[in-house]
């Protein structure tokens, strides 16, 4: 056991405690960024002037009429920017654009004494637009070769040759839709000017350091002149990893120009129409199997829809390419990725960060090919699982293959799958218009930022004279329970009761140069740093205790708020020791630091060992589909998931449940639609409210949702033997999509291969089962596959956002 992973007896980590702010959340006393403005004197409110074109040149901008509106204080335009007019780190996101790049793009902002005054002021601003041709769909972008950023390839062996050798070769396409974050709290910022032009910006941000840097560069300040604080977020899900910066910068600019605090909070429609979403992807692929159904080769091109600017599209794409294998050994691989530039919101991080999109490609392939190979889908999946010692296509060695196998077996057993499969067969045989199916899918998800430098974190821990402990760390709390886990880590390391530990809001002047709280690595990284800081304090206190207890310092023990020594009955209460340590002039605070060892990654050739470890899980999902309407419901879900030795089991189970449901929403309900026509609303987000964008709600909750944490799962390489949990379980939801595919197939003859659009909305499921009914000839020809044609943008479509998803799987 490593020092990092070793867990003392009676540890506070591992206890099933509730979220540290649970009582505040449910009573409404928890403060979020936008709760601060009513407490802020003289605050101004900001409202955007949103462009009504997908793409247009701004040829005239007259702000004067806005000033005639009572209560309007200031209109912010590009000319007001003292620093760099850019809201991103890629220098491709002008904060005040001269060219509109998506429908709803903010060209300027109005500040008012009230929100209503700002809104009316924005209506009064006169803008002249010269509309320009736009690209809305991925198919249009591919046809026009409208791409941005790098085009990396993950490659091993010779995929062409291996395809030529394979006895079964298939090719196909998949278009999968994006997803709206729909965090409960929309983007929000509150900026205040302090003396000497320094700024204090409160922001709902997963990445306070980068928000600080962008505010500084827009205002032409140094980083030490800007402090960013994030109290907590009402959800981020990746949507607040890079996109809060511009809003914070607008508020900060407004505060600087007016000398008054500025509050900016997007209403729901503004948030939906202005902020980025999960990337939709298009995939074109060829795959080869041997006679036993073992994967031989995969050749694919993944194109993501980046929207108007790069934002995080390149790292999202890299993660997609690194997850196209999911948990399957594929000897020869060549997968190329590219980012399309379209005139839509700039798509961004979303729970899984490209991993879900990459993995969906291989799961779709296996689901479509299993009937053509005459192998049960669950059997085809299991046969292709990794074994220890094999490597991923990018070269990382697999060491915990046994865990997926164990989770798989446990799901089969706990979920009573053999019996239920027989029952389902019976049910389907006796029900003409209702079909059921159960599917099982695995998850293997890499933990660490692909970019090695981000894998570091800091903490600042204070012990006050009364023994109470205040923990600052670089991570942000967005509901995921990071603060709860850090509280448990600090209490464990210091050997104190959790009641005397508090977490402070995240601030850039407490811990500098932080990474985004993202990639599920918040607890690993900040946990390592908090532990380091607490260990320093504990060491110093051990010397004071040694004198008082009459034992050598290494023999002092801290546990449960009591300090004891080996070989003595005498003990000291924690607070007592701290008090005397202060008078003995002992430093009672410490800065902690952690960096993940053993990572290496070459992003140019896409090779290395970018991940500290993999998180694993398996889900089984049973669904029922109505043959008249395609309406479907989930009957039961069984999950076994690997979180290492859990730091906080209630938090982890909650993360797994929430992630599964969020994944199921992405794959089966949520349906982003943009106006793709040539009319005046081209490019407009048609699903710009909760009434048109269907989120999972209580009525979609599976009536049975069993979540079990995998046992014997100690993780050597992470704090107190735990593993990251935030993102990986989202991909457990592949099971619901595969179950729907199988239920559709049950409407057709034996061996039917079903192409299912993503999202598999009732409409899409209806079309899929109609095709199954029509009968699909599963005959397979052996031999090498032809090079597939480029995606045909003019191909007939049933679903505007996933035209090729319904295209038949073609045989070689």
Residue number, 216 or 349, with CB nearest to ligand MOS: 349
Q: How far is the CB of 186 from ligand MTE (least distance, A)?
A: 13
The per-residue DSSP string of 630-653 comes to --EEEEEEEEEE--BS-S-HHHHH
Q: Where are the alpha helices (DSSP H) in 193-243?
A: 208-219
CA angle 476, 479, 481 (to 5 degrees): 75
Residue number, 588 or 672, with CB nearest to ligand MOS: 672
Q: How far is the CB of 720 from ligand MTE (least distance, A)?
A: 15
Alpha carbon distance 100, 112 (integer Å): 24
**Pairing verdict, β 562-565 and 556-559:** antiparallel
CA distances from 616 to 305, 359, 620 (A): 28, 13, 14
Q: Please check whether residue 649 is in contact with residue 720, taking contact to mean a CB–CB distance below 8 angstroms.
A: no
Alpha carbon distance 234, 219 (integer Å): 28
Q: Any contact of residue 353 with ligand MOS (CB under 6 A)?
A: yes
Scan residues 645-664 and list those touching ligand MTE (CB under 6 A): 655, 658
Residue number, 76 or 349, with CB nearest to ligand MOS: 349
Among 348, 488, 514, 520, contact with ligand MTE (rule: CB under 6 A) = 520
Among 85, 179, 448, 480, contact with ligand MTE (rule: CB under 6 A) = 480
Q: Any contact of residue 237 with ligand MTE (CB under 6 A)?
A: yes
Residue number, 144 or 695, with CB nearest to ligand MOS: 695
Among 296, 309, 472, 517, contact with ligand MTE (rule: CB under 6 A) = 517
CA distances from 120 to 110, 449, 484 (A): 9, 44, 43
Scan residues 34-63 and list those touching ligand MTE (CB under 6 A): none
Among 48, 88, 104, 236, contact with ligand MTE (rule: CB under 6 A) = 236
Select which of 185, 727, 771, 811 is catalytic: 727
Among 519, 667, 731, 769, contact with ligand MOS (rule: CB under 6 A) = 519
Write the CB contacts of 324 (distance below 8 Å, at least 6 apart in sequence): 154, 298, 300, 302, 333, 335, 358, 359, 361, 362, 393
Q: Which does 523 bind (CB under 5 to 8 A by kind): ligand MTE, ligand MOS, none?
A: ligand MTE
First CA to last CA distance, the chain: 51
CA distances from 443 to 326, 757, 778 (A): 6, 21, 28
Q: Binding string to ligand MOS for residues 63 to 102, with x set by CB under 6 A, is what?
A: ----------------------------------------
Q: How far is the CB of 206 from ligand MOS (least distance, A)?
A: 6
Q: Binding string to ligand MTE for residues 401 to 440, with x set by CB under 6 A, is what?
A: ----------------------------------------
Three-state DSSP state, 103:
coil
CA distances from 290 to 164, 363, 516 (A): 11, 18, 43
Q: Which does 758 bind (CB under 5 to 8 A by kind): ligand MTE, ligand MOS, none?
A: none
Alpha carbon distance 59, 78 (integer Å): 14
Residue number, 102 or 445, with CB nearest to ligand MTE: 445
Q: Is 727 a catalytic residue?
A: yes
Q: Any contact of residue 728 with ligand MTE (CB under 6 A)?
A: no
Q: Which does 655 bind (CB under 5 to 8 A by kind): ligand MTE, ligand MOS, none?
A: ligand MTE
Residue 357, classified by CB atoms within 10 Å of its CB into exposed (0-12), middle (13-18) or buried (19+), is buried
Q: Which stretch binds ligand MOS (CB under 6 A): 61-69, 350-358, 752-760, 799-807?
A: 350-358
CA distances from 129 to 57, 59, 62, 123, 586 (A): 6, 6, 12, 15, 66
Q: Any contact of residue 518 with ligand MOS (CB under 6 A)?
A: yes
Residue number, 120 or 319, with CB nearest to ligand MTE: 319
Q: Any contact of residue 656 with ligand MOS (CB under 6 A)?
A: no
Number of residues that bind ligand MTE (CB under 6 A): 22
Q: How far is the CB of 125 from ligand MOS (least distance, A)?
A: 34
Q: Which stretch binds ligand MTE (CB under 6 A): 400-408, 458-466, 517-525, 711-719?
A: 517-525
Alpha carbon distance 284, 489 (integer Å): 45
Q: Binding string to ligand MOS for residues 231 to 270, with x set by CB under 6 A, is what?
A: -------x--x-----------------------------
Among 166, 186, 206, 648, contact with ligand MOS (rule: CB under 6 A) = 206
Q: Which stretch binds ligand MTE (CB under 6 A): 16-24, 135-143, 439-447, 513-521?
A: 513-521
Q: Which stretch binds ligand MOS (CB under 6 A): 91-99, 108-116, 347-355, 457-465?
A: 347-355
Q: Binding string to ligand MTE for residues 310 to 349, with x set by CB under 6 A, is what?
A: ----------------------------------------
Nearest residue by C-beta to ligand MOS? 238
Token pair, residue 739, equals 């179950």
Three-state DSSP state, 668:
helix
Q: Any contact of residue 351 with ligand MOS (CB under 6 A)?
A: yes
Among 482, 501, 780, 812, contact with ligand MTE (rule: CB under 6 A) = 482
Q: At residue 524, what are phi and psi to the nearest 5 degrees?
A: -60, -50
CA angle 549, 555, 561 (to 5 degrees): 65
Q: Binding string to ligand MTE for residues 708 to 727, with x set by CB under 6 A, is what?
A: ----------------x-xx
Residue number, 590 or 724, with CB nearest to ligand MTE: 724
Among 134, 521, 753, 761, contact with ligand MTE (rule: CB under 6 A) = 521
Token pair, residue 85, equals 């007019």
Token pair, residue 133, equals 């041709």
The per-residue DSSP string of 705-716 comes to EEEEEPSS---T
Residue number, 127 or 518, with CB nearest to ligand MOS: 518
Order of strands, edge to edge, in the sheet holding 501-503?
501-503, 469-473, 456-463, 589-595
Q: How far is the CB of 48 from ligand MOS (least distance, A)?
A: 24
Token pair, residue 788, equals 């597939």
Beta strands in 393-524 (DSSP E): 434-447, 456-463, 469-473, 501-503, 506-507
Q: Please check whether residue 324 is in contact with residue 609, taking contact to mean a CB–CB distance below 8 angstroms.
A: no
Q: How far is the CB of 761 from ligand MTE (least distance, A)?
A: 23
Residue from 616, 495, 624 nearest 560 by CA: 495
Does the CA dihedral 205-211-212-218 come out positive or negative? negative
Q: Any contact of residue 356 with ligand MTE (CB under 6 A)?
A: no
The per-residue DSSP string of 513-554 comes to SPPPS-TT-HHHHHHHHHHHHHHHHHHHHHHHHHHHHTS-GG
Among 88, 288, 479, 696, contact with ligand MTE (rule: CB under 6 A) = 479
Alpha carbon distance 589, 465 (integer Å): 11
Residue number, 183 or 285, with CB nearest to ligand MTE: 183
Q: Which stretch binds ligand MTE (CB under 6 A): 125-133, 269-277, 282-290, 479-487?
A: 479-487
Residue number, 120 or 232, with CB nearest to ligand MTE: 232
Q: Which stretch binds ligand MOS (CB under 6 A): 344-352, 467-475, 643-651, 707-715?
A: 344-352
**DSSP 8-state secondary structure symbol assigned to residue 454:** G
Place of tokens 């001269």: 98
Residue from 210, 361, 217, 389 nearest 295 by CA: 361
Scan residues 722-741 and list those touching ligand MOS (CB under 6 A): 727
**Contact residues for ligand MOS (CB under 6 A)?**
206, 238, 241, 349-351, 353, 518-519, 727
**Contact residues for ligand MTE (CB under 6 A)?**
235-238, 351, 475, 478-480, 482, 517-523, 655, 658, 724, 726-727
Residues with active-site annotation: 727
């Amino acid at each position: 056991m490593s020092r990092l992973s070793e867990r003392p007896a009676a540890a506070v980590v591992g206890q099933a405690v509730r979220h540290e702010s649970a009582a505040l959340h449910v009573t409404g006393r928890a403060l979020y960024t936008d709760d601060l403005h009513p407490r802020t004197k003289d605050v101004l409110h900001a409202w955007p002037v949103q462009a009504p074109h997908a793409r247009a040149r701004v040829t005239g901008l007259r702000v004067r009429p806005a000033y005639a509106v009572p209560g309007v204080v200031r209109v912010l335009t590009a000319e007001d920017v003292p620093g760099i007019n850019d809201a991103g780190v890629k220098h491709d996101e002008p904060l005040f654009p001269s060219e509109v790049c998506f429908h709803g793009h903010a060209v300027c902002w109005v500040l008012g004494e009230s929100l209503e005054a700002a809104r009316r002021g924005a209506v009064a601003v006169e803008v002249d637009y010269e509309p320009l041709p736009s690209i809305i769909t991925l198919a249009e972008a591919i046809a026009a070769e409208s791409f941005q950023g790098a085009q990396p390839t993950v490659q091993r062996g010779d995929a062409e040759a291996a395809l030529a050798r394979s006895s079964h070769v298939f090719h196909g396409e998949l278009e999968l839709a994006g997803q709206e974050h729909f965090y409960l709290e929309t983007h929000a910022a509150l900026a205040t000017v302090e003396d000497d032009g320094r700024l204090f910006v409160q922001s709902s941000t997963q990445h306070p350091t980068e928000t600080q840097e962008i505010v500084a560069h827009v205002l032409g300040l140094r980083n030490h002149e800007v402090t960013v604080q994030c109290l907590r977020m009402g959800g981020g899900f990746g949507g607040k990893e890079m996109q809060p910066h511009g809003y914070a910068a607008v508020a900060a600019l407004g505060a600087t120009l007016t000398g008054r605090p500025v509050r900016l909070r997007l209403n729901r429609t503004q948030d939906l129409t202005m902020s980025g979403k999960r990337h939709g992807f298009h995939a074109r692929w060829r795959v080869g199997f041997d006679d036993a159904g073992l994967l031989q080769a995969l050749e694919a091109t993944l194109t993501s829809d980046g929207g108007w600017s790069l934002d995080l599209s390149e790292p999202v794409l890299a993660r997609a390419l690194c997850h196209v294998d999911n948990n399957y050994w594929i000897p020869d691989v060549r997968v190329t990725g590219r980012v399309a530039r379209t005139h839509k919101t700039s798509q961004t991080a979303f729970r899984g960060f490209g991993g879900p999109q990459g993995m969906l490609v291989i799961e779709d392939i296996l689901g479509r090919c299993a009937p053509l190979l005459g192998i049960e889908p669950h059997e085809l999946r299991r046969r292709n699982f990794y074994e220890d010692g094999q490597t991923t296509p990018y070269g990382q060695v697999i060491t915990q293959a046994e865990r997926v196998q164990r989770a798989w077996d446990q799901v089969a057993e706990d979920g009573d799958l053999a019996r239920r499969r027989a029952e389902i067969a019976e049910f389907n045989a006796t029900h003409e218009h209702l079909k059921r199916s159960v599917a099982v899918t695995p998850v293997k998800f890499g933990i660490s930022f692909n970019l090695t430098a981000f894998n570091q974190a800091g903490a600042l821990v204070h012990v006050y004279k009364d023994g109470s402990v205040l923990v600052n760390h670089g991570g942000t709390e967005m509901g995921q329970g990071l603060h709860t886990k850090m509280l448990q880590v600090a209490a464990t390391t210091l050997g104190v009761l959790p009641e005397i530990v508090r977490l402070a809001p995240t601030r850039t002047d407490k811990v500098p140069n932080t990474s985004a709280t993202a990639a599920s690595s918040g607890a690993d990284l900040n946990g390592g740093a908090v532990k380091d800081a607490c260990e320093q304090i504990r060491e110093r206190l051990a010397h004071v205790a040694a004198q008082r207890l009459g034992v050598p310092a290494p023999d002092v023990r801290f546990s449960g708020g009591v300090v004891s020594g080996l070989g003595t009955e005498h003990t000291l209460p924690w607070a007592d020791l701290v008090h005397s340590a202060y008078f003995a002039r002992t430093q009672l605070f410490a800065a902690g630091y952690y960096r993940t060892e053993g990572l290496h990654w070459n992003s140019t050739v896409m090779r290395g060992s970018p991940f500290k470890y993999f998180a694993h899980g398996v889900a089984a999902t049973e669904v029922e589909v109505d043959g008249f309407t395609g309406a479907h419901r989930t009957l039961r879900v069984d999950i076994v998931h690997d979180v290492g030795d859990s730091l906080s089991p209630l938090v982890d189970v909650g993360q797994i449940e929430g992630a599964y449901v969020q994944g199921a929403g992405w794959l089966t309900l949520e349906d982003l639609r943009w106006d793709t026509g040539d009319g005046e609303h081209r490019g407009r987000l048609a699903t710009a409210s909760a009434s048109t964008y269907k989120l999972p709600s209580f009525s979609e909750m599976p009536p049975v949702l069993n979540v079990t944490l995998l046992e014997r799962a100690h993780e050597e390489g992470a704090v107190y033997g735990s593993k990251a949990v935030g993102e990986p379980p989202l991909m457990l939801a592949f099971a619901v999509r595969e179950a729907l595919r199988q239920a559709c197939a049950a409407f057709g003859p034996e061996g039917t291969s079903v192409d299912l659009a993503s999202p598999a909305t009732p409409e899409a499921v209806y079309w899929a089962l109609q095709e199954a009914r029509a009968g699909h000839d599963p005959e397979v020809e052996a031999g090498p596959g032809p090079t597939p044609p480029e995606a045909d943008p003019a191909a007939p479509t049933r679903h505007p956002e996933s035209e090729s998803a319904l295209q038949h799987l073609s045989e070689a």
